[in-house]
């Protein structure tokens, strides 16, 4: 149905593609209560489908559950990726209507809540595995429990799970999407590609300080900027796709990336979609270099966080000289090979 050929496009994540195929063919209704006739008319609008495929995933973890049960399902399931994509779409459309910017903030609050719970839960597990002191484990257990309680409270306060049984935010947001006066697909396409090119320019021109993990434009912020490019491209649900592998790679040292494990990761795969009539194709090895960088930076970030938090005492925000050099080398290689400029040029092709 999607016209997808593995030999042509390379090793995209089969799980991701099947998931998107399943939810992408749904109506835009989900739990929204929108009339079937309205859902039918909206189901042909690519912009609406971009949102609803992720809303459907989120509904599975939240709908009908208590805040406590929803928090556990959000931690264990695939909802965090869906929330990231919804937040990314909110970013892309934020200056179109204030409701999109409000959606971005609400989905960010949800992602932050899930991320906080996940972070402290993972660090708690690592501390136990590493045989950390009882004091360190207790400290992390307290932070984990507090993060879960904060997530539960946020699910109620942001009306993902309304305490009074009223219409929830996801249902309200679906109704907004179905009534919104969307631009034509071609007009929308040019705007969205322009947004992605702007994101690439930001990564390329930002002055970073890799002596910090979190503060300012440190290691984590560099990774966030890279990750947004990947998530926003993926969230556009087939507007951006991979070129055929046969087209090759313009950077010799990256030629094997298109068939590596990074290409089938959530940051390297780009799902096709029958909804998009004029997709823009990018060279797989270039796009997957971003996925590899996200993975590399994530490993460094996780290592620094673990070293700081699995022992007693206060965590610092510093990074080791070796980590600073490793992160700088990642950025330098991408700049040397003009990764961002090459992708910007490909996104400019009409």
* pLDDT tens figures, 113-136: 999 999 999 989 989 998 999 999
Model pTM above 0.95:
no
Structural domain harbouring 136: 13-182
Please tell me whether residues 68 and 78 are part of one structural domain.
yes
Domain end residue (candidates: 158, 182, 206): 182
Please tell me whether residues 59 and 92 are part of one structural domain.
yes
Q: How far apart are CA 26 and CA 174, in angstroms?
A: 14
Q: 12 falls in which pLDDT band (50, 70, 90)?
A: very low
Average pLDDT in the 151-177 region?
A: 92
The answer to whether position 4 is within a domain reads no
Please tell me whether residues 23 and 170 are part of one structural domain.
yes
Average pLDDT in the 162-181 region?
A: 92
Please tell me whether residues 165 and 241 are part of one structural domain.
no
Domain end residue (candidates: 136, 159, 182): 182
How many domains is the chain built from?
2
Please tell me whether residues 52 and 172 are part of one structural domain.
yes
Mean pLDDT of the chain: 85
What pLDDT does residue 79 have? 84
Using the predicted structure, report yes or no on whether residue 16 has a pLDDT greater than 70. no
Average pLDDT in the 177-204 region?
A: 96
Please tell me whether residues 56 and 169 are part of one structural domain.
yes
Q: 5 falls in which pLDDT band (50, 70, 90)?
A: very low
Higher pLDDT, 23 or 107: 107
* pLDDT tens figures, 226-264: 999 999 999 999 999 999 999 999 999 999 999 999 999
Q: 20 falls in which pLDDT band (50, 70, 90)?
A: very low
The answer to whether position 1 is within a domain reads no
Q: Which range, 3-12, 266-275, 281-290, has the best average confidence (pLDDT)?
A: 281-290
Please tell me whether residues 302 and 291 are part of one structural domain.
yes
What pLDDT does residue 44 have? 67
The answer to whether position 104 is within a domain reads yes
Domain end residue (candidates: 126, 150, 182): 182
Please tell me whether residues 33 and 148 are part of one structural domain.
yes
Average pLDDT in the 139-152 region?
A: 95
* pLDDT tens figures, 299-332: 998 888 776 655 554 556 788 899 999 999 999 9
Please tell me whether residues 103 and 239 are part of one structural domain.
no
């Amino acid at each position: 149905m999607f016209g997808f050929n593995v030999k042509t496009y390379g090793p995209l994540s089969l799980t991701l593609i099947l998931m998107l195929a399943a939810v992408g063919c749904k109506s835009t209704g989900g739990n929204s209560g929108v009339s079937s006739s309205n859902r039918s008319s909206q189901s042909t609008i690519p912009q609406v489908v971009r949102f609803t495929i992720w809303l459907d995933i989120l509904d599975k973890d939240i709908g009908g559950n208590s805040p406590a049960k929803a928090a556990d399902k959000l931690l264990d399931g695939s909802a965090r990726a869906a929330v990231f994509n919804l937040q990314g779409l909110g970013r892309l459309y934020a200056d179109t209507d204030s409701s999109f910017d409000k959606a971005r903030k609400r989905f960010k609050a949800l992602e932050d809540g899930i991320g906080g719970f996940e972070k402290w839960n993972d660090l708690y597990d690592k501390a136990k595995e590493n045989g950390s002191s009882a004091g360190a484990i207790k400290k992390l257990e307290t932070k984990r429990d507090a993060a879960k309680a904060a997530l539960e409270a946020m699910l109620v306060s942001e009306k993902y799970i309304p305490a009074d049984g009223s219409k929830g935010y996801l249902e309200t947001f679906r109704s907004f999407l179905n009534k919104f006066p969307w631009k034509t697909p071609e007009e929308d396409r040019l705007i969205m590609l322009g947004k992605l090119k702007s994101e690439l320019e930001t990564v390329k021109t930002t002055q970073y300080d890799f002596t910090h993990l979190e503060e300012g434009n440190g290691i984590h912020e560099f990774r966030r900027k890279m990750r947004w490019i990947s998530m926003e491209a993926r969230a556009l649900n087939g507007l951006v796709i991979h070129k055929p592998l046969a087209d090759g790679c313009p950077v010799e040292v990256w030629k094997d990336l298109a068939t590596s494990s990074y290409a089938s990761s959530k940051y390297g795969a780009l799902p096709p979609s029958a909804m998009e009539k004029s997709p823009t194709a990018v060279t797989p090895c270039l796009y997957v270099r971003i996925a590899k960088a996200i993975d590399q930076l994530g490993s460094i970030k996780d290592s620094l966080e673990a070293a700081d938090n699995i022992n007693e005492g206060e965590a610092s925000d510093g990074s080791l000289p070796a980590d600073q050099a490793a992160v700088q080398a990642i950025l330098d290689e991408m700049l040397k090979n003009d990764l961002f400029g090459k992708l910007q040029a490909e996104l400019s092709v009409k």
